[in-house]
C-alpha cells in the first residue's frame, strides 16, 4: 500500500554543485484525475518565482 503524502516537497535533493532543490510528487489516479491538489498549487506558486523542470514517471530525460 502506498503512503499518503502531505502537500509540499516529498524531499530535498542536493545537486553536484551543492544546491538544495525540492523534489515534488504529484499524484494522479488511473483516470488521470489529480490526487494531490495542494502540492500542485504549491508547484504553480513556486514556478512563478523559480525555475522548474517537470519530469514524468518513466522518463529518462526532462520534458
Asked if residue 59 is part of any domain, the answer here is: no
Asked if residue 57 is part of any domain, the answer here is: no
Distance CA 51, CA 7 (A): 20
Q: Which residues of 32-57 are buried (b: 16+ CB within 10 A; e: fewer)?
A: eeeebeebbebbeeeeeeeeeeeeee
- 33-42 pLDDT per residue, tens: 888 889 888 8
Predicted local distance difference test score (pLDDT) of residue 49? 60
Predicted local distance difference test score (pLDDT) of residue 22? 85
Q: How many domains does the chain have?
A: 1
Distance CA 61, CA 29 (A): 23
**Domain limits at 21?**
11-47
Q: Among residues of the chain, what percentage have pLDDT more than 90? A: 10
Tell whether the model's pLDDT for residue 4 goes beyond 80: no
| Pairwise pLDDT comparison (21 vs 58), residue with the higher score | 21
| Residue whose grid cell is 515534488 | 24
Tell whether the model's pLDDT for residue 14 goes beyond 90: yes
Asked if residue 4 is part of any domain, the answer here is: no
Asked if residue 30 is part of any domain, the answer here is: yes
Asked if residue 24 is part of any domain, the answer here is: yes
Amino acid at each position: 500500500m502506498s503512503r499518503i503524502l502531505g502537500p509540499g516537497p516529498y524531499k530535498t535533493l542536493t545537486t553536484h554543485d551543492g544546491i538544495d532543490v525540492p523534489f515534488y510528487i504529484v499524484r494522479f489516479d488511473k483516470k488521470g484525475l489529480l490526487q494531490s491538489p495542494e502540492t500542485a498549487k504549491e508547484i504553480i506558486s513556486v514556478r512563478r518565482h523559480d525555475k522548474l523542470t517537470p519530469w514524468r514517471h518513466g522518463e529518462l530525460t526532462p520534458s
